[in-house]
A and B are shown apart, each in its own frame.
Chain A
Amino acid sequence: MSTAVKLPARESAPHEMSDYDVERIRADFPILREKAHGHTLVYLDNAATSQKPKAVIDAIVGYYEHENANIHRGVHYLSERATEEFELARKSAQKFINAPRPSEIIFVRGATEAINLVAQTYGRTHVHAGDEVLITAMEHHSDIVPWQILCEQQGAKLKVAPINDRGELILAEFERLLTPRTKIVGVGHVSNALGTVNPVREIVTMAHARNIPVLVDGAQAAPHVAIDVQQLDCDFYAISGHKMYGPTGIGILYGKQALLEAMPPYQGGGDMISSVTFEKTSYNRVPHKFEAGTPDMAGAIGLRAAIEYLQKLGMNNIAAHEHQLLEYATRAVSAIPGVRIIGTARHKASVLSFVIEGVHPHDIGTILDQQGIAIRTGHHCAQPVMECFKIDATARASFGIYNTKEEIDALVRGIKKVQEVFA
């Protein structure tokens, strides 16, 4: 397990845990008061997207009501203020993942864009015909397809490190696949379909021993565990804001300064240049070189509010709360006859994927939905994972900061209702 995933037992004093007041947290999320099909909403689809606290919603509204102007170029009062807020959001993201410099934080649309950016800039300049890109069998499509596109463009090969039947990366196989041809590694910090926490630190050490950089897809990790990119020593780290209680359309790419500086730009446009003539354009310094066009300013400011909200709760307290929920849910759901849990890695975060004998996941989803319980069913954008387990789909409950044991009890009752319908 990566040592950057800080478990509460070591990190927080017991009194901090008793301060974790889930009811008070729930009160911060207006949407949790909504009804679904006449039932109290039980939202267990956090791995798809999380709900937003009032603080985030207010920050976005506040930005548009008091600060909106285009950034970096204006000389007027509002532009200066908007620029300051936007750059404060960058600093806030920098601290959140413990990046050495704010210039190493690039605002993107989400983890998907972050990975595409690295594939098309670093990838296009370093991966050539006959080279290899190494990923794992548990990656989300967003950490597969950008590399496939790159490999096709460059005549390179995509290699896939296998997982065992618990859904854990087989590290020895992974290491065996690191060859002199391997030019970059892409690995998920936490698997969205299985919940597996990957040993990122070990992976980085193995790759760096061969001078291979590592991109970490942190979309599923950022809302659940404390992230320290210096401790992980990864070269790139990708995050989606909407999965960590922030707005949609904003995400972060962290990259080591020296790598970012050597990379060509991703998109051309305004703000990413320092001067333009028809003969020659020189590019702006990082991170602006990678932020062509007017960015999602309100999104960045909303993301900062989400980061501050999470920091106030404490990432270690969050990890402890969710760990308890996952253990409770794993015990309760696996005790139901005819239910099988998919993904039983020793280190997991916040995801419970399962199948019910004789019932297709899509039917599970509909029947739970009728009871107000929102889960995800399908292949979770990880079709190769489904193939590994020889299934078409799973039902997936995923937990967040505001979920409770009572909601897991509701899930268990819901599953029993599914079995009644199909009895």
Chain B
Amino acid sequence: MPDLRDLYQEVILEHSKSPRNYRELKPADHKAEGYNPLCGDRFTIYLQMDGDSICDIGFQGSGCAISKASASMMTQALKGKTKEEAEKLFHRFHEVVTGKTESHGHEAELGKLAVFAGVSEFPLRVKCATLAWHTLEAAIEGKQEAVSTE
């Protein structure tokens, strides 16, 4: 039986209470809104790019502890990363939260984001953990319409 503490790790709870980079970037040259209609989570991701590099990133919105902590920790992990590095990290992150076996041994690449491994025991919460990342993808690609997890 999955343990709640695997999902609600201290680090996750702490980030959900005091999210980092919780601000609108003015100006932001990339911006996208993500929405999870299942639970009403709604976030906007702001990006400032320098060529292919993310030089600044911020987010705002409301949602559950998992989605908010995920957005917060994502912004920390991505500052200074290139588009390609961000995409690779999302791929790894996605594998870990969905419990894909091929991610074993790659936890180190995720750094602090590895605390989200517990989400894989709670399939209904995978969308919460990945909402910010899907929104980031849209922001990088410059999509104007809101991203939905449904």
Contacts and interface: CB of A to CB of B under 8 A. Distances in A.
B132 interface: no
A360 B63 contact: yes
B62 interface: yes
Nearest to A393: B40
Given A366-B7, A367-B4, A422-B13, A392 B65 contact: no
Contacts, number: 51
Contacts of B2: 370
B108 interface: no
Interface in A376-423: 377-379, 386, 392-393, 421-422
Contacts of A366: 4, 7, 122, 124-125
B8 A362 contact: no
Interface of A: 37-38, 358-363, 366-367, 370, 377-379, 386, 392-393, 421-422
Interface string B80-108: 00000000000000000000000000000
B49 interface: no
5 pairs of A and B residues whose beta carbons are closest in the complex: A360-B64, A362-B64, A362-B39, A392-B40, A393-B40
Interface string B1-30: 110100110000100010000000000000
A361 B64 CA distance: 7
19 contacts: A358-B17, A359-B65, A361-B64, A362-B39, A362-B41, A362-B64, A362-B125, A363-B66, A366-B4, A366-B124, A367-B4, A367-B8, A370-B2, A370-B4, A392-B42, A392-B62, A392-B63, A422-B8, A422-B65
Contact of B1 (A37, A359, A392): A37
Contacts of A359: 65
B47 interface: no
Nearest to B122: A366
Nearest to B13: A422
B115 interface: no
Count chain A CB atoms within 10 A of each CB in B8, B40, B122 and give the residue with the most.
B40
Interface of B: 1-2, 4, 7-8, 13, 17, 38-42, 62-66, 68, 122, 124-125, 128
A81 B18 CA distance: 67
Contact of A360 (B4, B38, B65): B65
A379 B42 CA distance: 13
Contacts of A386: 40
A393 B65 contact: no
A370 B8 CA distance: 12
Contact of B39 (A38, A361, A367, A421): A361
Contacts of B17: 358
Nearest to A358: B17
A165 B64 CA distance: 25
Contacts of A370: 2, 4
A163 B108 CA distance: 53
Contacts of B128: 362
A399 B136 CA distance: 41
A222 B105 CA distance: 55
A58 B93 CA distance: 48
A37 to B, nearest CB: 6
Nearest to B128: A362
Nearest to B38: A378
A367 B63 CA distance: 16
A391 to B, nearest CB: 9
A26 to B, nearest CB: 25
A38 B7 contact: no
A360 B26 CA distance: 28
Contacts of A360: 39, 62-65, 68
Contacts of B7: 366
Given A378-B40, A392-B40, A363 B1 contact: no
